[in-house]
Amino acid sequence: MKSKLTAVVSILTISFFCAAFVATQQPKPWPVPDKNAKTPNPVKSNAESIAAGKALWSVHCSSCHGKGGLGDGPKAAQLKTQPNDLSKAVAQSQSDGSLFYKISEGREDMPSFKKKLPDAEDIWSLVVYCRTLKK
């Protein structure tokens, strides 16, 4: 009887810690105001804007999000939250305005770029480049 009780307690304990781990790995919702989400990208996707976005990505984003946007940059392991994999459908399905808002405003480990990149066209070019990262 004692060994069954020990086994049950062990299973419950392991289950609790697994559930707690999974819960901490779920991305926290990041709501974007409707006005921002619906803002269209004024920068057209072309070779020039993609190149500009890629250059900015290399300087400002790849250290956390990785070269291909997979969230595997050299600084990613040092962060409290895993950087998003921007090649996945969940990221690619967001509007350009939502991506612009998130890059501009930042949150927690994701820094705000509105002061680092004060020219909004640069952030819009980053959004254009992010679209090239899809799988």
What local confidence, expressed as pLDDT, does residue 3 receive?
Answer: 65
Cα torsion 99, 129, 65, 89 to 10°: value is: 60
| Each residue's pLDDT expressed in tens, for the chain with a length of 135 residues | 566 656 544 454 554 544 444 444 566 889 999 999 999 999 999 999 999 999 999 999 999 999 999 999 999 999 999 999 999 999 999 999 999 999 999 999 999 999 999 999 999 999 999 999 987
| Residue 102 belongs to a domain | yes
| Residue 7 belongs to a domain | no
CATH number at residue 40: 1.10.760.10
Report pTM.
Answer: 0.79
Domain boundaries, position 66: 32-133
| Residue 54 belongs to a domain | yes
**Listed residue (26, 31, 111, 101) closest to 65, CA to CA:** 111
| Residue 12 belongs to a domain | no
| Residue 3 belongs to a domain | no
**Listed residue (113, 112, 135, 133) closest to 122, CA to CA:** 113
- Structure token digits, residue 96: 């350009």
| Residue 111 belongs to a domain | yes
Reduce the secondary structure of the chain to three states and give it as a string: CHHHHHHHHHHHHHHHHHHHHHHHHCCCCCCCCHHHHCCCCCCCCCHHHHHHHHHHHHHHCHHHHCCCCCCCCCCHHHCCCCCCCCCCHHHHCCCHHHHHHHHHHCECCECCCCCCCCCHHHHHHHHHHHHHHCC
What local confidence, expressed as pLDDT, does residue 37 receive?
Answer: 97
What local confidence, expressed as pLDDT, does residue 134 receive?
Answer: 87
| Residue 1 belongs to a domain | no
| Residue 5 belongs to a domain | no
Q: What is the domain count for the chain?
A: 1
Which amino acid is located at 1 in the chain?
M
**Which residue's entry shows tokens 């070269």?**
67
